[in-house]
Amino acid sequence: MTKAQTAKAIRKGSSQKDALDRRQEILSAALNLFSMRDYSAITIKEIAQLAGVNSSLLYYYYEDKEALFRAALEEAVGAAMGNYDEVASKHSEPVDLINDWFQMHVTLASDIRRLVKILMDYSSSQSHSRVLDDVISKFYDVEIQILTKAVKRGQRVGLFNKVSPNAAAVFASTHLDGVMVRSIIQPRLDIAGAVDALRDAFWAYVGYKP
């Protein structure tokens, strides 16, 4: 490869990286706004201002605000699934895994609240996407699978009662969503205390005494 070809390749790679960085900055700005205010009240201009780019540039990456909203939602769901996978991969003991899973919702409360707020807006919107519906379903399916397997392992070694593992997983998942929704309605809610109380209720549900 000649020096000119090498320089061209470097410029191309640099421009591609710049484009990816700019797209990520736009997504981050959109996520922040969508998590704080209603979808209908947010304008492309506001997102562009927060991202530090010209409004017209947003249309280069996304067809419209709806497309940007969908991309932001997919980004938030993907990040949450990555956190779930990380917790699941760290533990072989069911109690440790479940404890860490609850604690993750305290440590990452701001990110999870942001996701829940966006999910609420999406569920009440008039425009749904089959792709996004599948992404959201997979997100909850992964969460339920992780918890169900943990409960089954606990039952095999005699730690938990013979309750339905799936029902126990749904109980924890549903009520944790409830904590996050409550914290959106009442920002001063003690999330750590609420999660601890739910963890105690979950241990009682499966018959485990810490």
- The CA distance from 151 to 155, in Å, is 6
Q: Which domains does the chain have, with CATH numbers?
A: 1-62 (1.10.10.60), 73-210 (1.10.357.10)
Spacing of C-alpha 25 from chain mean position:
18
Spatial contact of 179 and 195, defined as CB atoms under 8 Å apart: yes
Provide Rg for the chain, Cα atoms.
Answer: 21
Please, what is the average pLDDT of the chain?
A: 85
% of the chain exceeding 70 in pLDDT: 91
- The CA distance from 186 to 16, in Å, is 42
Tell me: pLDDT of 130 over 70. Answer: yes
Q: What is the pTM of this model?
A: 0.76
pLDDT band at 92 (very low <50, low <70, confident <90, very high): confident
Nearest to 108 by CA among 80, 88, 73: 80
